[in-house]
Amino acid sequence: MESYVLTPKNKKQAERLKALADELKLSIGILNDEDKEDAGLLRAMKEGENDKRKVSLKTFFKNLQSE
């Protein structure tokens, strides 16, 4: 089954999303900052798999730290 990540803009939206998930009997989880970073890194790795361009390790780490 697919999973979705929803990011509410404020506390009210978060409460409404939780209430909807409860009503639909959906499981819900909260990602911490490390989880979000891991997901972003995984996405970048998947996007880069087919990219034939080369990037220096120094540039890679510089860009990684800036996000």
pLDDT in tens, 8-21: 999 999 999 999 99
User: Is residue 14 within 8 Å of 8, Cβ to Cβ?
Assistant: yes
Burial 39-55 (b: 16+ CB within 10 A, else e): eeeeeeeeeeeeeeeee
For the stretch 28-39, pLDDT in tens is 999 999 999 999
The residue written with tokens 């890194």 in the block is 41
pLDDT confidence of residue 64: 84
What is the token pair recorded at 54? Answer: 């080369």
pLDDT at 53 over 80: no
pTM: 0.55
Domain range annotation of the chain: 1-30, 33-67
| Mean per-residue pLDDT over the chain, rounded | 89
Q: Is 29 helix (H, G, I), strand (E, B) or coil?
A: coil
